[in-house]
Chains A and B, each alone.
Chain A
Amino acid sequence: MSQAVGINFKKSSIDALIAGFMALVLFGPIVGVVLDGYNFNAEFGKVAWMVAIVAAGRFVMSCFFRLKKAWRWHFVTRITMKGWRY
Chain B
Amino acid sequence: MDIVLQQLVNGLTLGSVYGLIAIGYTMVYGIIGMINFAHGDVYMVSAYITAIALALLTFFGIESFPIILVGTLFLTVAVTGAYGWVIERIAYRPLRSSSRLSVLISAIGMSLILQNYVQLSQGANQQGVPTLLTGALRFHVGDGFVQITYMKLLILFISILGMGVLTYVIQKTKLGRMCRATQQDRKMASILGIDTDKVISTVFVIGAVMAALAGVLVTLDYGAFDFYVGFIIGIKAFTAAVLGGIGSLPGAMLGGLILGLSEALFAGLISSDYKDVFSFSLLVLILIVRPSGLLGKPEVEKV
Contact = CB atoms under 8 A, between A and B. Distances in A.
Interface residues on B, range: 20 to 34
B128 A30 contact: no
A19 to B, nearest CB: 10
B56 interface: yes
A30 B51 contact: no
Interface in A1-34: 22, 25-26, 29-31, 33-34
A86 interface: no
A40 interface: yes
Given A35-B51, A35-B52, A30 B86 contact: no
A38 interface: yes
A39 interface: yes
Contact of B121 (A25, A31, A39): A31
Contact of A25 (B58, B79, B123): B79
Interface in B48-89: 48-49, 51-53, 55-56, 58-59, 75, 78-79, 82-83, 86
B168 interface: no
B178 to A, nearest CB: 24
Interface string B96-122: 000000000000000000000110011
B52 A29 contact: yes
Contact of A39 (B53, B55, B83, B122): B55
Contacts of A30: 45, 48-49, 52, 117-118, 121-122
A26 B79 contact: yes
28 contacts: A22-B82, A22-B86, A25-B78, A25-B79, A25-B82, A29-B48, A29-B53, A29-B79, A30-B45, A30-B48, A30-B49, A30-B117, A30-B118, A30-B121, A31-B121, A33-B52, A34-B121, A34-B122, A34-B123, A35-B48, A35-B52, A35-B55, A35-B122, A35-B123, A37-B128, A38-B55, A38-B129, A40-B59
Contacts of A37: 128
Contacts of A40: 52, 55-56, 59
A48 to B, nearest CB: 15
Question: Which of A22, A26, A35, A40 has the most C-beta atoms of chain B within 10 angstroms of its own C-beta?
Answer: A35
Contact of A26 (B51, B82, B123): B82
B97 to A, nearest CB: 19
Question: Which of B75, B117, B122, B128 has the most C-beta atoms of chain A within 10 angstroms of its own C-beta?
Answer: B122
Nearest to A38: B130
A35 B127 contact: yes
Question: Which of B52, B53, B83, B123 has the most C-beta atoms of chain A within 10 angstroms of its own C-beta?
Answer: B52
Contacts of B129: 38
Contacts of A29: 48-49, 52-53, 75, 79
Please list the 6 inter-chain residue pairs (A to B) with the smallest Cβ-Cβ separation, ordered nearest first. A40-B55, A33-B52, A31-B121, A29-B52, A25-B82, A30-B121
A26 B52 CA distance: 13
A38 to B, nearest CB: 6
Contacts of B52: 29-30, 33, 35, 40
Contacts of B130: 38
A38 B52 CA distance: 9
A10 B157 CA distance: 48
Nearest to A35: B127
A51 B55 CA distance: 23
A40 B53 CA distance: 11
A70 B121 CA distance: 42
A29 B122 CA distance: 10
